[in-house]
Structure 1
Amino acid sequence: MGIVDDDIRRVREESDIIRLITQHTQLKKVGRSWKGLCPFHNEKTPSFTVNQENGRYYCFGCQATGDSIEFLREIDNLDFVAAVEMLAAQNGIPLRYTDKKESKSRNRRKELIKLVAEAVDFYNKKLIDMDNPEARPAREYLKQRGLGGDIAEKFSIGWAPDSWDSLCGHLSVSNEDLLAAGLGGINKNGGQYDFFRNRILFPIFSEQGDPIAFGGRKLPEGEGPKYKNTSDGAEIYSKSQILYGLNWAKEEAGRIDELVVCEGYTDVIGCHEAGISRAVATCGTALTREHVRKMSRFAKKVVLAFDADNAGQSAAEKVYEWESEFDVLFKVADLPEGGDPGDLAFSNPEELNHIVENAKPHMQFRVDRVLEKGDFESKEGRAKSAIEAMKVVAQHPDELIRDQYIVQIADKCLIGVDEIRRRASEENSKVEKSVITREGVPVKMERLTTEYQALRMLIHKPEEVTDWLHPVLLSDPMAESVFVALTSSTDLHEANQSLGKEESDLFGRLSVQETEDDKPLGVFSRLLS
């Protein structure tokens, strides 16, 4: 049971692997291939190679290999069918299933997304309908925040009426679907009720752009908590893994290798309107490891655009661990006291851009905050400032980075650097750290034999070598296995599936290598000699 083979083959052939991969890592064209840093392991020298013509990739560092479907499965942790469905949707390819029951099962997520999309449209129309007086307070509040009707339409902002079941009546869906989509609940009498009432709603989209949840904000005079999000009980939403605005931010993030993390939905919208399209926000929760893992796939610099106190203190120790684990650099945007990106975006967008562009590394920001409060007019004041700053520096797990800040503190406080180092060592011994380190993956070296060169031509230029290349010319068992797989399969994916681990690795390397210098006559002559 599954998707019809012809449809899977069509998805492979019509998916643009370069466009897909550049959403996660930057690629540069070198000859006929594309190269960049591997999105699957930390490296400083590019070893990830993609061949656009045959739609395959290979990393010479960690040996990751595959096509567009396998890339999406690995990068987004999807099963095979989900990856095919996602690529098919992106390329407008209808899919057929081998079993009607399976087709229905696989379409469950699509059905729930469709329900949420209907809710997005329903709530948005309630807000922008100028003939709807009930939504006037919401429109006026948004306008005060700089969010007019054009922005409400652009970001699909909505209004949930002060009614128990306006959405339920509009959708007319089963109790099971209503609960699964996170749009409502069932009362003790068995009646349906809306999850959101009397709130401004900000639709939350997956990174692929599918509507999956809502963030609801009450009006200043409204009742209940300030924010109310779709429950994690919904089947297609998990707030600890979702970043609001990533669907809009990922393109710019990939281009300039940076994401800006805000606290609220209006902050993200304001940033986008101010030209900072790489802005995202957590959905009513603190920054989590899963958030950072996801962000690291799109950018290696993360700017925290929170208010000053939250930006410096939020998950400070975890930030340094995440920097090491995911090879990212956290910076802090030094916003004005009491200011937030949403307000600054409309009052002074140039200043907001300047602040974001001049964000400081997380540790530098925290040290500066301590030293700014210090008394440098007296010896006692300088000593106290140095001690307080060292307590901050001691939290960083990297000794080399700690030492650079120690020198900076010594210069600022006019205290001998050796004394600062001694005090810092004492302070650091009090802080128990579990430092996560990642060893670089050595690039795999290979010896290109004449037989491998012949196989490379068979992969890239089959029409030039198929007629004369025969297994009797191959003495290497691994080369012979790859040859048999290629000549007995209908496409490269099928050939790769039939190979063992070592043969598949060889196949992966050869499938992304350049073949410009391969000449059939020369290769054939060397095979015969």
Structure 2
Amino acid sequence: MDGEFENFKEQVRSTADIVEVISSYVPLKKRGQNFWGCCPFHGEKTPSFSVNPGKNMFYCFGCHEGGDIFKFIMKIENCGFMDAMKLLAGRYGIAVPEKQKTAAEIKREKQRERIYDTNATACRFYQACLLNTDYGKPALNYLAGRGIDRKIIDSFGIGYALASFSALLSNLGRRGYSPQELEAAGLAARGKSHMYDKFRNRVMIPIRDPKGHIVGFGGRVLDDSTPKYLNTAETEWFNKRRILFGMDVAYKPIRATKQAVIVEGYMDAISLHAAGIDNAVASMGTAFAQEQAKLLKRIADEVIFCYDSDSAGRRASVRAVSIAREAGLKVRIATVPDGKDPDEFVRRHGKEAFLQVLAQAKEGIDFQIDETILQGDTGNLAGKVDAVSNILPFLLECKSEIEAAEHIRRLAQRLTIDEGLIV
């Protein structure tokens, strides 16, 4: 298989015309031996993006991104190496070699595809209940009250689960889906004597993986009953660490602006999109993961975290800064005034006010330092020692000695201690 794979890779590399492929994404003009255009990976008005057909390479003199045709496709399509090769192979009609799969692999693949199909069908049913039935009117009114119109409903595939223990089971059962398949997808649960719909009388929000497959749902109540949110349990195909809610909708805006706004919950992200902040995604909780940072690094240069302003949200922001910086992202932290969450703030004050919150976002390491000092008592020597000890790991994460030195200088002034005592 290794030899076959290498032959396939070389066939794709030699067949694909790098100028033709890149021209489908970026307008190019020939100048000398190279072709030039504005870089798709960072904002610029003067072309500094060069394609050399002789070397089969591209390079940007502005952001220093460069590589071969595979690297270009991986970055611009937000995909891995194999997916980039398959995309190019499909473009040029090159057959993709398939490795021999075991019976267990074939079974698992079929199960995964069936789960995707089950979730997609359930999503269509939930949407029909929301948009085409009288039962869905209270949910439609609830969404309208949150500023969520039909365009946003369609973009995110939002629906409504009827207040019934068997509506989904019955409807999908007539379409050939077994109760066991709905249970495997997390859409049904098993009682003492029968199966029942897991989601009832809730606004239903599909959760998609980076490839657009629906891998789970979040359901929100229409009133103050509990639990407010009910989510699909994590499975082999639904792992929160590998998914950012709304990435399928926000992908192009993030790639265009090179910036992503990260919030905690999917309703926060949806409300921001409804207000016109279309580069927002949600980490679906306060635990931002390395896998999520790597997803964003493929298409963004900077992330702005805008978690809830409570203590849990602020602690999570401190952790998230280090994870995002390790992935090579610039990081800032936006704090919503008056302890409100992004959803509530943007609905009450509007887009422009929220953009001001983002504009005032603090540099990530400055936020980490400020939070660490606030959590301690730096009015005495022991408190200062503890603060420096806790801040030192953040300083060691600085990529530049100059950056670290500036933070040390400011920290020493703030704590009224000698700079030499910090390192």
Aligned equivalent of 1:272: 273
The yes-or-no answer on 1:178 pairing with 2:176 is no
Residue in 2 that maps onto 1:406:
408
- Match in the other structure for 2:22: 18
Q: Which amino acid aligns with 1:287?
A: F
Residues 288, 320 of structure 2: 8 Å contact kept: no
* CA contact 1:182–1:195 (8 Å) conserved in 2: yes
Show the counterpart of 1:483.
none
In the alignment, which residue of structure 1 is the partner of 2:196? 193
In the TM superposition, what is the alpha-carbon distance from 1:403 to its structure 2 partner? Answer: 3.0
- Judging changes above 3 Å, is the alpha-carbon distance between structure 1 residues 219 and 273 closer, same or farther for their aligned structure 2 residues? closer
How far apart are the structure 1 equivalents of 2:375 and 2:195? 56
2:230 alignment counterpart: 228
**Which residue identity does 1:18 align to in structure 2?**
I
- Asked if structure 1 preserves the Cα contact closer than 8 Å seen for 2:189 and 2:195, the reply is yes
Partner residue, 1:167 = 168
Gaps in structure 2 of 5+ consecutive residues: 2-7, 43-47
The share of aligned pairs that are identical, in percent, is 28
Q: Which residue number corresponds to residue 208 of structure 2?
A: 205
Larger radius of gyration: 1
Alignment partner of 1:125 is 2:141: no
Give secondary structure in 1 for the equivalent of 2:393. Answer: coil
User: Is the CA contact (8 Å cut-off) linking 1:229 and 1:283 kept in structure 2?
Assistant: no
Report the 3-state secondary structure (helix = DSSP H, G, I; strand = E; otherwise coil) of the residue aligned with 2:218: strand
What is the aligned partner in structure 1 of residue 45 from structure 2?
none
* Separation in 2, partners of 1:319, 1:171: 43
Alignment deviations for residues 160-182 of structure 1 (CA, whole Å, 9 cap, x no partner): 12222211211120345434433
Structural mapping, 1:287-326, within 5 Å:
287-308=288-309, 309-314=311-316, 316-317=318-319, 319-320=321-322, 322-323=324-325, 325-326=326-327
Tell me the CA shift for residue 211 of structure 1: 2.7
SS at match of 1:352: helix
Following superposition, the deviation at residue 230 of structure 1 comes to 1.8
Alpha-carbon displacement from aligned partner over 1:90-126 (angstroms, at most 9, x marks no partner): x8x9x99999x99999776555433322211211222
Distance 1:129 1:306, change over 3 A: same
- What is the CA distance between 1:294 and its match in structure 2? 1.0
Mapped to 2, the partners of 1:214 and 1:67 lie a distance apart of 34
Corresponding residue of 1:350: 352
1:76: which partner in 2?
A: 79
Whichever residue aligns with residue 277 of structure 2, its letter is: I
Which has the larger displacement, 297-306 or 67-76? 67-76
Q: By how many angstroms is 1:288 displaced?
A: 0.9
Instruction: Summarize deviations over 1:342-369 as a string: whole Å, max 9, x none.
Output: 1222223211011112311112124445
How far does residue 153 in structure 1 lie from its aligned partner after superposition?
Answer: 3.7
Distance 2:342 2:29 in 1: 33
Task: Write the letter of the residue equivalent to 1:337.
Answer: D
- Show the counterpart of 1:142: 143
Which runs of structure 2 are paired with 1:420-499 in the superposition (5 Å)? 420-425=418-423
Supply the AA of the counterpart residue of 2:214: P
CA shift digits 1:193-239 (9 cap, x unpaired): 3232232211112334333321112344434x332222222x53222
Q: CA deviation at 1:72?
A: 8.4
Deviation at 1:303, TM superposition (A): 0.5
The TM-score with structure 2 as length reference comes to 0.72
What is the CA-CA distance between 1:242 and the residue it aligns to? 0.6
Quote the offset at 1:19 in angstroms: 8.3
Between 68-77 and 387-396, the greater mean CA deviation after superposition: 68-77
Q: 1:273 to 1:57 in 2, by over 3 A?
A: farther
Q: Structure 2 vs 1, CA of residues 114 and 394 (structure 1 numbering), >3 Å: closer, same or farther?
A: same
Whole-angstrom CA distance in 1 between matches of 2:336 and 2:255: 24
* SS of alignment partner, residue 240 of structure 1: helix
Deviation at 1:374, TM superposition (A): 11
1:254 and 1:73 map into 2 onto residues whose CA distance is 8
2:406 partner letter: Q
Q: Deviations over 1:470-506 (max 9, x none)?
A: xxxxxxxxxxxxxxxxxxxxxxxxxxxxxxxxxxxxx
Q: 1:394 aligns with which of 392, 400, 409?
A: 392
Are the structure 2 counterparts of residues 76 and 240 from structure 1 closer, same or farther at C-alpha, using a change threshold of 3 Å? same
Asked if 1:238 is matched to 2:239, the reply is yes
Counterpart of 2:120, as a letter, is A
User: CA shift at 1:285, angstroms?
Assistant: 5.7
Aligned to 1:216: 219
Q: Distance in 1 between matches of 2:369 and 2:74?
A: 41
Structure 1 CA distance, aligned partners of 2:182 and 2:224?
29
Say if 1:407 and 1:248 are closer, same or farther in 2 by CA, change over 3 A. Answer: same
C-alpha distance 116-206 of structure 1, shift in aligned 2 (>3 A): same
CA distance in 1, matches of 2:122, 2:289: 28
Determine the C-alpha separation between the residues in 2 that align with 1:281 and 1:28.
Answer: 39
Can you list the C-alpha shifts for 1:134-176, whole angstroms capped at 9, x where unaligned? x454344433333345543443222112222211211120345
Unaligned runs of 5+ in 1: 40-46, 426-529
Residue 338 of structure 2 aligns to a residue whose secondary structure is coil
Alignment CA distance shift 1:212-1:20 (3 Å): farther
CA contact (8 A) 1:273 1:345 kept: no
For residues 373 and 413 of structure 2, what CA distance do their matches in structure 1 show?
12
Work out which structure has the larger RCO, using CA pairs closer than 8 Å and 6 or more positions apart in sequence.
1
* TM-superposed deviation, 1:306: 0.8
Aligned residues: 388
Relative to structure 1, is the Cα distance of residues 296 and 386 closer, same or farther in structure 2, using a 3 angstrom cutoff?
Answer: same
1:163–1:368 CA distance, 2 compared to 1 (3 A): same
CA distance in 1, matches of 2:76, 2:364: 33
C-alpha distance 73-246 of structure 1, shift in aligned 2 (>3 A)? closer
SS of alignment partner, residue 217 of structure 1: strand
Q: Is the 8 A contact 2:293 2:323 kept in 1?
A: no
In the alignment, the residues of structure 2 paired with residue 314 and residue 29 of structure 1 have an alpha-carbon distance, to the nearest angstrom, of 49
Alignment correspondent of 1:256: 257
Counterpart residue identity of residue 184, structure 1: A
Counterparts in 2 of 1:385 and 1:17: CA distance versus 1, 3 Å? farther
Alpha-carbon distance change, 343 to 104 in structure 1, aligned in 2, over 3 angstroms: same
